[in-house]
Structure 1
């Protein structure tokens, strides 16, 4: 008898090894954001290299702005749900570490226990803001180094990836941001995430100046040009996240559908824009549950459901 199909079969340690190997493979690692575990299963089925869990998305799911209102418990719980259903490595947004350096250290251990492959910590002042908005402030380099050092020291699995995010580019300029990245790498960061670079030329400049794996954020409606993954790979970037894309797609479709139901009194005109029941069951691997316990589930998929 095989295990429950809802659970991934790859151990957390092996996912972390795969994440690290991907960062040095010469191929860009694409991490779309998953706003729930089902989306993570779809990301894996399509063939992406990893799954991202965005703090902005988690906040939005709770109808909160992305200003540091979520807790470590909420983030770890959602991360564990998503990591548990996929064989892909999961990278998670840990904001500023949920407090002082000791809190950042605890964040690492909690997220390791949740089966996460890596996290990123940022150098914003608390309360943080969305990285593509004005009004951000960054902590002094020394404060971020204490935050990072605590996180690196707390790591038990040496393959757990600690990414340092810097929001300094729009505040202090590229040269100062490069200096921050170099200091963060010296403190033990495995990956650098420079938020809100604008153009291909800025991404190229940063890549030329920093000798450590780099992550690009291709979020919509922000400050960064939406650069295709092959171009980022050619520049030399190692990973790219699409943090809010799936939530935006889903919410746009949901809003249009709800407005039509409100106006027309029926969803009958929306059926060709819906995932069919049979496709949902396929993604859920419903029939494998029947194989696991035929006494509990005993059915066959219909053709036109």
Structure 2
């Protein structure tokens, strides 16, 4: 084992995370990315058996106490991604929002993400500052040529060292399938590796219609609202990657609310102890055994 990797965390850096992510996103077999928002959730996703992570802007913002409206800075996001990479050893596709500004902000974000362990970045074609796609009806899109400039800036700066996903918000903004396809063509020409097509409807009809007409690049989807659609429909449509985009964070909110409420009401933790993770489970997840072993190796015996 590379001893330097132990300094970074319980897992440490991995070799070729970008290659691993590219293989997932570009595979002919349907792949899944699971959301995480900090080192702990990333380690849990790894333990559950997922092969890749989605660093959700919504979830990271929520965990930091911000709204998903570019209130969290890109530097805060980069810091969280680094902890996720170290704690999980999984390739990470990062929600890069709209790039936190113009082409220059987007390429700076991409460089820093690459330096801090990310394997890919997803940029969406909204104006900065953006708002969560499921909040309100004001979702103005950026000009196609300007967004293509952001994509080209990221590609020129990072080369093939970072998987670049272009997220189309035309369906969210109400422009329809024709505009979504027009933007997909432009983004492919600008150097995107894959297209993420997003929808806020409770059924997958417009997503499947897009997939039927678009075959130039791998398609990534986020079925947060149309979650009742069977996964077999995505396989039949030739979709490449499904992102489960916010469920770890939402599960944490529900679990913490329930536990905190009971403790406040019962004025005791005796009743909830059998229902929460043991300390030993947390120790195992975070690699405390390695620390104990390292102390035996490196600390003088009399300390």
Q: Give the TM-score taking structure 2 as reference length.
A: 0.90
Q: Does 1:144 align with 2:152?
A: no
1:128 maps to what in 2? 130
Counterparts of 1:276 and 1:86, CA distance in 2: 20
1:66 maps to what in 2? 68
* 1:32 alignment partner, SS class: strand
> Where does the alignment leave 5 or more consecutive residues of structure 2 unmatched?
none
* 2:272 alignment partner, SS class: helix
How has the CA–CA distance of structure 1 residues 71 and 56 changed in structure 2, closer, same or farther, with 3 Å as cutoff? same
In the TM superposition, what are the counterparts of 1:1-305 in structure 2 within 5 Å? Answer: 3=3, 4=6, 6-11=10-15, 14-133=16-135, 134-156=137-159, 158-170=160-172, 171-196=174-199, 198=201, 199-211=203-215, 212-219=217-224, 222=225, 224-294=226-296
* 2:94 alignment partner, SS class: strand
Number of equivalenced pairs: 291
How has the CA–CA distance of structure 1 residues 185 and 118 changed in structure 2, closer, same or farther, with 3 Å as cutoff? same
Conserved in 1, the CA contact under 8 Å of 2:54 and 2:243? yes
Query: 1:228: how far off?
Result: 4.2
Conserved in 2, the CA contact under 8 Å of 1:290 and 1:296? no
Counterparts of 2:51 and 2:232, CA distance in 1: 14
Counterparts of 1:251 and 1:225, CA distance in 2: 19
Q: Which moved more, 1:106-115 or 1:192-201?
A: 192-201
Runs of 4+, deviation exceeding 4 Å: none
Conserved in 2, the CA contact under 8 Å of 1:7 and 1:86? yes
User: Over aligned residues, Cα RMSD in angstroms?
Assistant: 1.9
Conserved in 2, the CA contact under 8 Å of 1:164 and 1:189? yes
Query: 1:106: how far off?
Result: 1.2
Conserved in 2, the CA contact under 8 Å of 1:197 and 1:203? no
Conserved in 2, the CA contact under 8 Å of 1:31 and 1:240? yes
Counterparts of 2:263 and 2:179, CA distance in 1: 52
* 2:296 alignment partner, SS class: coil
Per-residue displacement from partner, 1:44-78 (whole Å, max 9, x unpaired)?
Answer: 12211201111111211222211111212111111
Counterparts of 1:248 and 1:284, CA distance in 2: 21
Counterparts of 2:207 and 2:88, CA distance in 1: 31
